[in-house]
Structure 1
Amino acid sequence: MSDNQNLLAEQRRALILDEVRRRGGVRVNELTRKLGVSDMTVRRDLDALARQGAVAKVHGGAVPVAEASTHEPGFEAKSGLEPTAKEDIARAAAELVVPGAAIALSGGTTTYALAHRLLDVPDLTVVTNSVRVADVFHSAQRTAGQRPGAATVVLTGGVRTPSDSLVGPVADQAIAALHFDLLFLGVHGISVEAGLSTPNLAEAETNRRLVQSARRVVVVADHTKWGTVGLSSFASLEQVDSLVTDAGLPGAARAEVSEHLRELVIAGGPATPADDA
């Protein structure tokens, strides 16, 4: 059977991952029929997902990785998951930022994607506890020089996590003294019951400070974060103004989100105010 050239490897792997999570496991021969690709292509995709830590390979197929609520993947492992969704979310979230705003970006691979989209927005003040996010702005300024309107970046101190965020008392104290117009918050998990959560206790406290210091809270999270619960909750859905996610979020989840948030933005689609849901 010839490979379906219209389906990119990244798209195939996202579909495979969704199927594994939904069904609790898949077989290679099932995926070849479903995707219309060769056995070898499916096995390469499973190898790639296994290297990212997204699935565990078993004889003849793959199953979900059993993760404890305290498991915190590193930045590189997370960056390989749902890249297209993250770019779509970043593009939609960037439209919420106006020139001259004071904004905050938490740690995470989706906020990292967003940072790249904000480089051309003039006169921003950017507060972040993410080493990776700060590097996006600093690298751009080193390359282009200190041009008029370049962002002013405030990087909090703190203890570095596996996802390259700075957390702990130093970060908390710095954030508590600041006030920003807009917070873009990446999350490990989001659900109606647990709200926003993370496997890192210190990061949970730092995220609480970020939420408290923001006039508007925007969560940027792809659809795979829905229903995931980390060890520590740090905000309820009622404390979130907007969720920017991708089209992979199921209809039932969209309805649940809209009951608790002021605004749901599906990247590539129109914003959905809760009153209209």
Structure 2
Amino acid sequence: MTDPSSRPPAAARREQILSIVDERGFAKVAQLSQLFGISEVTIRADLDALADGNALQRVHGGAVTGGPASGRPPGPERPFEQSMLASSPEKARIGRAAASLVQSHQTIVLDVGTTTTAIAAALLDRDDLQGVVVITNALNIALLLEPVIPRFTVVVTGGTVRPLQHSLVDPLAGVVFERIRADLAFIGCSGVDAASGITNVNLPEADLKRRMLEASARCIVVADSAKLGVTQHSRVAPIGQIDTLITGSEADARELAVLEAAGLHILLAR
């Protein structure tokens, strides 16, 4: 714990907390408690005070950017390029761990997102793979995988473009999943919680993620450690519908224990 004499007063601490949340998009109570060396009860009080002032928004387990006083739109969704900067070494390790599960001649679904983009990047290094079919609703992933065509077949879902994430959503994006059966689906998300399940900040993308899961024999969620214990407003699936969670070794041991107790198989990317 931090030396009590070195702890900032409440007002200064809350300014620092706000800067952290603004930089990262969201922050967890447990992480802030450890960072400032104070109790989680005090951190919750700080977050509640900031939320009352409309400087951020409270969510289960922490807080996200947004609120009238913040000058930001509500919710933690950030442009793809900004999200790529957060936890990038961890996401690269998650990407390699996920890509190692793919076998030649399989059909896989790659969801939109920075962590699934790391999977695509890792697949580029798999010279041993042949005949893999990749179905994606992410324009950037399709372009990233273009150099491995024709060794890979890359199928883009179609649909309406969401420029913030370079993703394709309904109408039309979900039609392809009514006509295919994939071996693996790699799904990104905004939160993983034992009680709330897999959740996302964006409702149209959450709807498409559910269709991906339904069209796949095996469902794998990829999420960096900061998303564990977080709940967003758009539900994707309960924990029981997920075969494996791949996350970073930085993940909080308590969060991992709760998820494992709920029956979720977890693979740590080290």
Q: Which residue of 1 aligns with 2:157?
A: 156
Q: Which residue of 1 aligns with 2:110?
A: 105
C-alpha separation between the residues in 2 aligned to 1:82 and 1:184?
A: 18
Within a 5 Å distance, the mapping from 1:232-243 to structure 2 comes to 232-243=234-245
Q: Which residue of 1 aligns with 2:137?
A: 129
Within a 5 Å distance, the mapping from 1:150-189 to structure 2 comes to 150-161=151-162, 162-189=164-191
Are residues 211 and 19 of structure 1, via their aligned partners in 2, closer, same or farther at CA, if it must alter by over 3 Å? Answer: closer
Q: Which residue of 2 aligns with 1:10?
A: none
Q: Which residue of 2 aligns with 1:84?
A: 89
Moved more, 70-79 or 237-246: 70-79
Q: Which residue of 1 aligns with 2:6?
A: none
Q: Which residue of 2 aligns with 1:118?
A: 123
C-alpha separation between the residues in 2 aligned to 1:165 and 1:106?
A: 9
Q: CA deviation at 1:260?
A: 2.8
The TM-score with structure 2 as length reference comes to: 0.72
Unpaired runs of 5+ residues, structure 1, are 1-12, 31-55, 57-63, 269-277
Q: Which residue of 2 aligns with 1:23?
A: 32
Matched-pair identity in %: 31
Unpaired runs of 5+ residues, structure 2, are 1-19, 38-55, 57-62, 68-73
Moved more, 108-117 or 160-169: 160-169
One-letter code aligned to 1:175:
F
Q: CA deviation at 1:262?
A: 4.7
Q: CA deviation at 1:23?
A: 2.3
Are residues 81 and 98 of structure 1, via their aligned partners in 2, closer, same or farther at CA, if it must alter by over 3 Å? Answer: same
Q: Which residue of 2 aligns with 1:8?
A: none
Q: State the secondary structure of the residue aligned to 2:182.
A: coil
Q: CA deviation at 1:195?
A: 1.1
Q: CA deviation at 1:206?
A: 0.6
Q: State the secondary structure of the residue aligned to 2:236.
A: strand
Alignment check: 8 A CA contact 2:185 2:218 kept: yes
Q: CA RMSD, aligned part only?
A: 2.8
For these two proteins, the number of residue pairs brought into alignment is 215
Alignment check: 8 A CA contact 1:90 1:117 kept: yes
C-alpha separation between the residues in 2 aligned to 1:261 and 1:173?
A: 31
Q: Which residue of 1 aligns with 2:45?
A: none
Are residues 115 and 250 of structure 1, via their aligned partners in 2, closer, same or farther at CA, if it must alter by over 3 Å? Answer: same
Alignment check: 8 A CA contact 2:65 2:75 kept: no
